[in-house]
């Protein structure tokens, strides 16, 4: 048996491929593996990115540069050791050409050494700590960075008579990025962050922290919580009566995530945030994206995670076109560097030097549009790079 199998693999297969030439090549599969939290606290991130990646493939076909693309989606449950094990399996056993996804910063950090060792492109579609792209020369990012999303809301606050702010962030790397970026930028305009509060990532209870805020009565509360947590936060903010006590809620757009926003209730109307994507973004590309996403996924509204997944697939497809279907990791990552296109969120660039994303950041206010709650954009900071690393 063994001999026969060896014969088939060793001698049979080669002439067959050579004989069929282009046709055999046309059927050669290229795999991309997405590692996502499909269960647990960040499950909405996984659902959004999977839906968007599948939509991209349905719209753009399964064949690229004569090769058939196969998408593999694996659930890491939001646990870093699982992310690492799945990354290893996808790279070694499935021989994927790229890995993508990464719903939380610690998960991206866990996979980065494997991307480096195996020279496998790693497309970060969700996680948003500035330092992620520095963990491997094979990392590119289609999501955003917290410092990038934070500076515009600091500027808006300064221009709108907000002087004393308490910041409240989830206590891990992207929260610390947001806290620092807000304090630094807001401080430059004479504003003051009077207290910095950090809440745990797992099962957060905001009530005790919000009580402190209610007692201190700042002009505004700046908040960062990761996608999926905003609903809980806003509920407790309203329960404490902070909305009525005159404490303005401001933040990055993670807290008014489109996946949850419509269920937050009218108390959220008027909240101003800055972010790189809103489902209400007014462009023909976005209207087409939202319509197609909803048609394919009834009862779901795409959020900023979805757009990161959609653009991540675009980056992979276009890189593969540039390499004429060649999948060596260095060739693919080089093809991704410097790429620009118009995303549903607006124009974006993957900076060649940093492999990070430059994009517009919009200032938005929650409003009711046709009976639904949306982040309605009213100001644009154009082509913002990650401020820590620059262009």
> Residue 33 is encoded by which pair of tokens?
């593996």
Whole-angstrom distance, CA of residue 262 vs CA of residue 156: 24
Token pair recorded at residue 309 = 């997944």
Min separation Cβ 221 and ligand PHB, Å: 18
Taking the complex as a whole, the smallest distance from the CB of residue 72 to ligand PHB amounts, in Å, to 22
**In the block, residue with structure tokens 């947001």:** 178
Residue nearest to ligand PHB (CB): 226
- H or E stretch covering 333: helix 329-336
Half-sphere exposure for 295 (CA within 13 Å, toward CB): 9
For the bound state, the minimum distance from the C-beta of residue 80 to ligand PHB, rounded and expressed in Å, comes to: 11
Q: Are 373 and 261 in contact (CB under 8 A)?
A: yes
- Residues touching ligand PHB, count (CB under 6 A): 10
Q: What minimum distance in Å lies between the beta carbon of 341 and ligand PHB? A: 23
* Contact map string, positions 74 to 103, toward ligand PHB, x by CB under 6 A: ------------------------------
Strands (E) located in 298-356: 340-343, 346-350
User: E-strand spans in 28-110?
Assistant: 29-36, 63-64, 67-75, 98-101
Those residues whose C-beta lies under 8 Å from the C-beta of residue 327, and which sit 6 or more positions away, are 30, 97, 320
Could you tell me which stretch among 120-128, 187-195, 321-329, 331-339 binds ligand PHB (CB under 6 A)? 120-128
Considering beta carbons, is residue 310 or 317 the nearer one to ligand PHB? 310
Task: Closer to ligand PHB by CB, 127 or 139: give it.
Answer: 127
Q: Give the one residue of 174, 251, 344, 385 binding ligand PHB; rule: CB under 6 A.
A: 174
What is the rounded CA–CA span in Å between residue 288 and residue 281?
11
* Contact region with ligand PHB (CB under 6 A), list: 124-132, 261-269, 360-368, 378-386: 124-132
Is 372 in a helix, a strand, or coil? Answer: strand
Q: How far is the CB of 130 from ligand PHB (least distance, A)?
A: 10
- Stretch touching ligand PHB by CB under 6 A, among 70-78, 126-134, 281-289, 365-373: 126-134
Cβ proximity of 103 and 46 under 8 Å: yes
Distance, in Å, from the CA atom of 44 to the CA atom of 252, rounded to the nearest integer, reads 18
Among the listed residues 83, 129, 148, 303, the single contact to ligand PHB using CB under 6 A = 129
Mark residues 215-244: x for contact with ligand PHB by CB under 6 A, - for none: -----------xx-----------------
C-alpha angle with apex 101: 133 to 231, nearest 5 degrees? 105
Stretch that binds ligand PHB, among 57-65, 122-130, 182-190, 319-327 (CB under 6 A): 122-130
User: How many angstroms separate the CA atoms of 312 and 189, rounded?
Assistant: 36
Compose the 243-282 pattern: x for residues touching ligand PHB by CB under 6 A, - for all others: -----------x----------------------------
Positions that interact with ligand PHB (CB under 6 A): 104-105, 126-129, 174, 226-227, 254
């Amino acid at each position: 048996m063994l001999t026969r199998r060896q014969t088939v693999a060793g001698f049979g297969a080669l002439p067959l491929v050579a004989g069929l030439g282009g046709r055999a090549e046309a059927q050669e599969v290229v795999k991309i593996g997405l590692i996502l939290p499909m269960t647990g606290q960040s499950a909405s991130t996984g659902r959004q990115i999977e839906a968007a990646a599948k939509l991209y493939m349905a719209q753009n076909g399964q064949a690229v540069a004569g090769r058939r693309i196969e998408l593999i989606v694996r659930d890491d449950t939001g646990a870093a050791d699982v992310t690492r094990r799945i990354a290893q399996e996808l790279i070694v056993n499935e021989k994927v050409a790229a890995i993508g996804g990464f719903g939380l910063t610690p998960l991206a950090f866990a996979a980065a050494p494997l991307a480096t060792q195996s020279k496998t492109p790693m497309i970060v579609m969700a996680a948003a700590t500035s330092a992620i792209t520095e963990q491997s020369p094979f990392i590119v990012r289609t999501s955003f960075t917290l410092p990038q999303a934070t500076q515009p809301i600091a500027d808006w606050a300064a221009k709108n008579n907000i002087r004393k702010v308490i910041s409240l962030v989830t206590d891990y790397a992207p929260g610390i990025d947001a806290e620092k970026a807000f304090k630094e930028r807001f401080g430059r305009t004479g504003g003051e962050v009077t207290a910095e509060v950090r809440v745990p990532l797992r099962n957060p209870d905001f009530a005790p922290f919000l009580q402190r805020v209610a007692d201190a009565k700042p002009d505004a509360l700046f908040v960062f919580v990761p996608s999926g947590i905003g609903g809980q936060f806003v509920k407790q903010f309203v329960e404490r009566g902070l909305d009525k006590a005159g404490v303005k809620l401001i933040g990055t757009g993670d807290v008014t995530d489109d996946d949850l926003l419509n269920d937050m209730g009218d108390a959220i109307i008027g909240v101003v945030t800055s972010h790189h994507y809103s489902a209400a973004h007014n462009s023909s590309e976005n209207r087409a994206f939202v319509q197609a996403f909803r048609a394919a996924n009834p009862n779901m509204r795409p959020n900023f995670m979805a757009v990161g997944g959609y653009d991540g697939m675009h980056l992979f497809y276009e890189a593969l076109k540039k390499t004429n279907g060649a999948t060596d990791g260095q060739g693919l990552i080089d093809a991704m560097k410097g790429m620009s296109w118009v995303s549903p969120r607006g124009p974006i660039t993957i900076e060649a030097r940093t492999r990070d994303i430059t994009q517009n950041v919009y200032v938005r206010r929650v409003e009711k549009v046709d009976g639904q709650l949306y982040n309605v954009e009213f100001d644009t900071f154009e082509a913002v790079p990650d401020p820590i690393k620059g262009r």
